[in-house]
Amino acid sequence: MQELQQRILQDGDILPGGVVRVERFLNHRVDTALACHIGQAFADAFRNDQIDCILTVEASGIIFAMTTALAMGELPVIIAKKGQRRNLGDDVYTADVFSFTHQTTSTIHVGKRCLEKGQRVLLIDDFLANGCALLGLIDIVKKSGATLEGAGIVIEKGFQHGGQEIRDMGIRLESLAIVDSMTDDSLTFRD
């Protein structure tokens, strides 16, 4: 997605350790027009699939799950919550997820009444590096008996193994911007 790549180059920052900071337009201060265009791009990519719901993990993925759900005809969005919550109870699917950005492991939870057997699920998230969040969501979909139709990622770090691992599992993965390489002061995108 050319518009997204331009914004990353124009307004993004490259930090040491392979971190792309997009806080000025994607995940802290959100350019709502761009967020809607991202949602439409995912809706276009998966328009021939019969998606029943969208699953994401809190927090930054929620924005793009919502804009995608609206572009696909107001589908429900299911949010995998991080950490134990009293209001979720014990009737949940769980998976442990390591965050590349935060360098911590969290247990994510999805209520069993929210994600049901037979539903056709699209995963949406903001970043894909090592694939841990996506693998956790995939595990939850499998545990629920739902059907995984594919995954949409806003920014994939193609130089890390997560995207290839997901594709090697036979899962359809659509990434809108794939960073092919990074140095401490520049990055390049995959065509």
Kindly give the confidence (pLDDT) of every residue in the chain, 191 residues in length, as a single tens digit, with 9 standing for 90 and above. Answer: 999 999 999 999 988 877 889 999 998 899 999 999 999 999 999 999 999 999 999 988 999 999 999 999 989 999 999 876 655 667 899 999 987 667 788 899 999 999 999 999 999 999 999 999 999 999 999 999 999 999 999 999 999 999 999 999 999 999 999 999 988 888 999 98
Model confidence, pTM = 0.93
Nearest Cα to Cα of residue 47 among 149, 177, 186: 149
Cα atoms in the Cβ-side hemisphere of radius 13 Å centred on 78: 27
Looking up tokens 């027009």 gives 33
Q: Are 132 and 99 in contact (CB under 8 A)?
A: yes
Residue 60 class from Cβ within 10 Å (0-12 exposed, 13-18 middle, 19+ buried)? buried
Cα atoms in the Cβ-side hemisphere of radius 13 Å centred on 181: 2
Q: How large is the angle between the packed helices 2-11 and 32-45, nearest 10 degrees?
A: 150
